[in-house]
Amino acid sequence: MRIIGGKYKHKRFDVPHTFKARPTTDFAKEGLFNILTNVYVDFSEEPAALDLFGGTGSIGLEFLSRGCRKVVSVEKDFKHYQFLTKVARELGDKNWIPIHADVFKFIQRTSERYDIIFADPPYALDNLADIPRLVFEADILVPDGIFILEHGKDYSFTDAPHFMDHRSYGSVNFSFFSLEQQ
């Protein structure tokens, strides 16, 4: 896994081959961060980001590398969480905070609000379609913030509340949501 932009650009981390998580492809990450940077997010304002289903840490690290003042990555799988904490120690960047927790319980109990929320659940997750509603019900996104859901091609959120945009990069799909639809 490599970081494609920002202060940690080109830094690589070897993801154990036993991992169940599928990292977002570089092609999809480049597309996502081009859209975020050019349309939705001013990284010079040092937004706070929440990375749900942290997996390999690929997206959380991109947020960190591009200037987020705080990135919280939530991961339920203990081996994945251990990997995230190992990478965090190697980087020595106190602005990245891996948390070992169930995403659904975390969003119900956190009182923090974020400028950017990214969720990359397993594509086969039974309640994947509920995630946007749960995020907005939890009131953890700032009013002008953005929520991005990565999902497979079998889902469409165009009729969901707060939906703004959809982008597809091969088999990777991103749906964008905001309280203040742009």
CATH (domain of 57): 3.40.50.150
Asked, for residue 128, whether it belongs to a domain, the answer is yes
Q: How far apart are CA 6 and CA 49, in angstroms?
A: 15
pLDDT tens-digit profile of 114-143? 999 999 999 889 999 999 999 999 999 999
Overall average pLDDT of the 161-178 stretch: 95
- 53-70, pLDDT tens digit by residue? 999 999 999 999 999 999
* Tally of structural domains, the chain: 1
In the predicted structure, residue 15 carries a pLDDT above the cut 90: no
Residue 58 falls within a domain, yes or no? yes
Three-class SS state of 155:
coil
Residue 3 lies in a domain: no
Rounded to an integer, the average pLDDT of 76-99 is: 95
Q: Which residues of 167-177 are buried (b: 16+ CB within 10 A; e: fewer)?
A: eebeebbbbbb
Closest C-alpha among 50, 25, 38 to residue 174: 25
In a domain, 41, yes or no: no
Closest CA to 136 of 73, 76, 178, 167: 178
39 assigned to some structural domain: no
**What is the span of the domain harbouring residue 157?**
52-177
Please check whether residue 6 lies inside any domain of the structure.
no
Residue matched to tokens 């859209």: 35
pTM: 0.95
Q: How confident is the model at residue 17 (pLDDT cuts 50, 70, 90)?
A: confident
When pLDDT is cut at 50, 70 and 90, the band that residue 16 belongs to is: confident
Cα separations (Å) of 119 from 73, 91, 150, 154? 10, 23, 6, 16
Residue 80 in any domain: the answer is: yes
Answer whether residue 43 is part of any domain.
no
pLDDT at 181 (0 to 100): 62
Considering the chain, what percentage of its residues have pLDDT values greater than 70? Answer: 98
